[in-house]
Amino acid sequence: MPYHFTLSMIPLALSVLVSGALALYTWQNRRAIGATPFALMMLMLYEWEICYIFQLAGTDAVTKVFWDKLMFLGVVATPVAWLAFALEYTRRKTWINPRRLAMLSIIPAFTILLLLTNDLHHLFWAKAALSSEGGFLHLDNINGPWFWVHTIYSYTLIMVGLVLIVRALLRWPAQYRGQMTWILLATVTPFVANIIFIFRIIPILIDVTPFAFTLTGLGLAFALFHHRLLDLAPIARDIVIDGMKDGMIVLDANQRIVDINRAAQQMIGLSSEPVPIGKPLADVLSAWPNLIERYHNVLETKDEISFGEGETRRWYELNLSALLDENNSLIGQVATVRNISDRKQAESQLLESEARFRQIVENASDVIYRVDSHGYVIYANPATMRILGYGSEKDVVGRHYLELVAPQARHKVKRAYEHQFVSKTPNTYHELPIIAADGSETWLGQNVQLIYEGDRIIGFQALARDITAIKQAHDALRLARDQALEANLAKTRLLSKVSHELRTPLGGILGYAELLQRDTFGQLNEKQQKAASEIIDSTEYLANMVNELLDEAQLRSSTTTLHERVFSPSTLIQQAISGIDILAQNKGLEFSSYIDPNLPQGIYGDDQRIRQIIINLTGNALKFTKEGSVHLTVTCHNENYWGIQVTDTGIGIPKEAQDAIFEPFQQVHSEVTRDNRGIGLGLSIAKQLIELMNGKIVLESEPGRGSTFTVLLPIRAVG
């Protein structure tokens, strides 16, 4: 096969090299979207161009026809690869499957078949001819009908791919417009070239279509690899913008929709309809004419809008921003719409609850107010004005709280609240006099709490009540109590003085009577002796009464003190009952005693007073028992108490009188009292002494059956 290569073929050869290199490079980077079909397309182009060069260089018809036929392998495959690329590049890869590819390849395969068998039927080329122009030999075939089928089919595939890519490019953000233009130009170039060649619009001898395709490939490869961002950005956009919960609509300067995300479509209610790109906003939002009217001439705004009523009312936050180009002229607007129904609902609930609390505070009958950290009143409820007699809030709010406090109390009040502030005491209660509008004093009992903002105290809040009336009553009560105490003390002093002053003359009476009885002043006869004895008896009774009166008076005024020491309880009891035996015998009564051997050897206490208690109780029992016995038992009650029990067979005490007998000057049985002189202080003194010792006394008694007094005293045993 003879060839003749000329210098004019060098650009074509370069183009072949570019195609081959692109095929190789793209194949190596086939992970990029659309790269695999693109590499295939460039390979087909490469084949096409090589065969074409050899066809051109061939110097006889046989050579030329051979290469020409071989060339068609690339020619028919390139559009199919192009379509596959366009599908994959515009995210329609799923559309491509072997079956569909096979169907797409039917016509190209048939074309090749017809081409190879053209000599038999001439369906592809009606006539193959060589012509020589300018000393250059070239094929000048007359195309048969199938050639046109092939051409139309190829164009259809290329057109479909082109439309897919152009549509995708149109959706790209504005900042990619420059690159988009270049890609478009690159894509359109082979068409122009091919149309020129087929229809011989310009008399050129060679077909530049494959070389134009190389340019296309260059442009697309540049887009594919250099601006890989283009692959990612749309995906990112899809994920971010369509995934947003907020609706987003991009408008051009004519209020046409340039972009709208899924959320916005759902909000408008167009989720099932095709994306309304390019439609005027007014058409899309025709259901809400008010909205269009309201924001028609608004470039930028932030607003809250609502749809629906009552429970189904939905709230949205509309954010409208103008898009400006570098010359600050308007090129569009972006609207974002956020569903704020939940927030609005929370806000309205907050408002509602605030109103509820406000109502409570405003209708409260107690004073409620707040002061800032400097002490200035920042809020006061109506009760404050009412109770203090002020006309309006202005008379109170803005004033320092100390101005409202009565001058004599200011210092104390100031110190109290400064202390609360410094010590961070959460809650205090103070009573303080307030100066009312008319100058009168109103007493408030107020609880004050610290108000915090984070860690910082920003003021106080006070809840106060008018306690003037309570205060007055309280003061009156205290005065009465003081007076009563004073009277009691005076009574005690009087009793003490009286007792003291009585003892000295009693000493004289007793002394002289005894001296008389002892015949110091001469021999007395029997009657005189008896008289002297009567004087002595009466004096002793009187002296005893004075002692009891004084004890009672001192116990009543709580001035009795115990003189405690360690003592032996059994010794004490022996001493106490030494005189009682004789008294019982004189009355014809039986007296017995039992001392528990388990009693501690030493007990800490006031032995004199305990002795007084025992004497009082046994004396009392003897006094009210006409016949029978009196029994004294001293036991160790438990580890904490020891007990003194006095039981008699006397007249007993009725239930209703059992509490009263411990009261001073109380005696139940008047007929007994006539025979037994006494002023009824013994039990009262005993009970008070027992209680002073932290002990207790219990009485069990039935009229006619006798009484039992049980005394329990705490054991403070000594080691």
Partner 1 sequence: MTTKPCALIIEDDPKLNQIITLTLQTDFDLESCVDGNTAMDLLGNFVPQIVILDLNIPGVSGREILTHIRSDKRLWRTRVIVTTADNRQAEILQNEVDIVLLKPVSPMQLRELALRISSMQ
Of 434 and 613, nearer to partner 1 (C-beta) is 613
- For the chain, the straight-line distance linking the first and the last C-alpha, in angstroms and rounded, comes to 140
> What's the CA dihedral at 669, 674, 676, 678 to 10 degrees?
80
Tell me whether residue 356 or residue 518 sits nearer to partner 1 (CB atom).
Answer: 518
Pick the binder of partner 1 from 242, 246, 514, 564 (CB under 8 A). Answer: 514
Q: Mark the segment that binds partner 1 (CB under 8 A) among 151-159, 393-401, 505-513, 651-659.
A: 505-513
Q: Out of 510, 576, 610, 653, point to the residue binding partner 1 (CB under 8 A).
A: 510
User: Do 94 and 40 meet the contact criterion of CB atoms below 8 Å apart?
Assistant: no
Is 550 a residue that touches partner 1 (CB under 8 A)? yes
- Give the number of other CB atoms < 10 A from CB of residue 635: 17
Minimum distance, C-beta of residue 608 to partner 1, in the bound complex (Å): 7
Instruction: Answer for the pair 144, 124: CB distance below 8 angstroms, yes or no.
Output: yes
Which of 699, 697, 686, 714 lies closest to 613 in space, CA to CA? 686
Gap between the Cα atoms of 147 and 115, Å rounded: 9
Q: Give me the least distance between CB of 665 and partner 1, in Å please.
A: 20
Nearer to partner 1, 250 or 510 (CB): 510
Shortest Cβ 416–partner 1 spacing (Å): 43
Q: Which is nearer to partner 1, 271 or 608 (CB)?
A: 608
Q: Helix 607-623 crosses helix 569-577 at what angle (to 10 degrees)?
A: 40
Cβ atoms of 611 and 579 closer than 8 Å: no
Q: Out of 504, 586, 598, 670, which residue is the one contacting partner 1 (CB under 8 A)? A: 504
Identify residues 443-482 at the interface with partner 1 (CB under 8 A): none
Residues 6 or more apart whose Cβ sits within 8 Å of residue 41: 78, 81, 82, 84, 85, 217
554 in contact with partner 1 (CB under 8 A): yes
Q: What backbone phi and psi angles, to 5 degrees, belong to 694?
A: 60, 30
Q: Shortest approach of partner 1 to residue 511 CB, angstroms?
A: 3
> Smallest distance, Å, CB 369 to partner 1?
56
515 binds partner 1 (CB under 8 A): yes
Q: How far is the CB of 526 from partner 1 (least distance, A)?
A: 20
**Binding mask of the shown chain, residues 589 to 628, with x at each position contacting partner 1 by CB under 8 A:** -------------------x--------------------
Spatial separation of the C-alpha atoms in residues 451 and 308, rounded to whole Å = 41
Residue 136 pairs with which residues in a beta bridge?
A: 133
Examine residue 579 and tell whether it contacts partner 1 (CB under 8 A): no
Query: Which region, judged by CB under 8 A, interacts with partner 1, from 309-317, 339-347, 420-428, 504-512?
Result: 504-512
Residue 512 as a binder of partner 1 (CB under 8 A): the answer is yes
- Residue 714's nearest CA partner among 698, 687, 692 is 692
Integer Cα distance of 148 and 198 in angstroms: 10
Closest approach of Cβ 508 to partner 1, in Å?
Answer: 4
3-state secondary structure of 1: coil
Is 238 or 540 the residue whose CB approaches partner 1 more closely?
540
Stretch of 546-554, 568-576, 627-635, 683-691 contacting partner 1, by CB under 8 A: 546-554
Task: Please select the residue that binds partner 1; options are 243, 278, 289, 507, rule is CB under 8 A.
Answer: 507
DSSP string computed for 88-137 = HHTT-GGG--HHHHHHHTHHHHHHHHHHHTHHHH-SSEEE--EEEETTEE
| 506 in contact with partner 1 (CB under 8 A) | yes
Q: Which is nearer to partner 1, 167 or 518 (CB)?
A: 518
For position 543 contacting partner 1 by CB under 8 A, the verdict is yes
CB closer to partner 1 out of 592 and 608: 608
Indicate whether 520 belongs to the interface with partner 1 (CB under 8 A): yes
Indicate the residue among 91 and 503 with the shorter CB distance to partner 1.
Answer: 503
Reduced to 3 states (helix: H, G, I; strand: E, B; else coil), residue 350 is helix
- HEC string of 294-327 equals HHCCCCCEEEEEEECCHHHCEEEEEEEEEEECCC
CB of 514 to partner 1, least distance (A): 5
- Pick 327 or 520: Cβ nearer partner 1: 520
Among 145, 269, 389, 508, interactor with partner 1 by CB under 8 A: 508
Tell me the C-alpha distance between 173 and 179, whole Å. Answer: 11
Interface with partner 1 (CB under 8 A), residue total 24
Please provide the DSSP assignment of 677-705 as one string: ---S-HHHHHHHHHHHTT-EEEEEEETTT
**Which amino acid is located at 716 in the chain?**
R
Closer of 650 and 664 to partner 1 (Cβ): 664
Residues making contact with partner 1 (CB under 8 A): 499-501, 503-504, 506-512, 514-515, 518, 520, 539, 543, 547, 550-551, 554, 563, 608
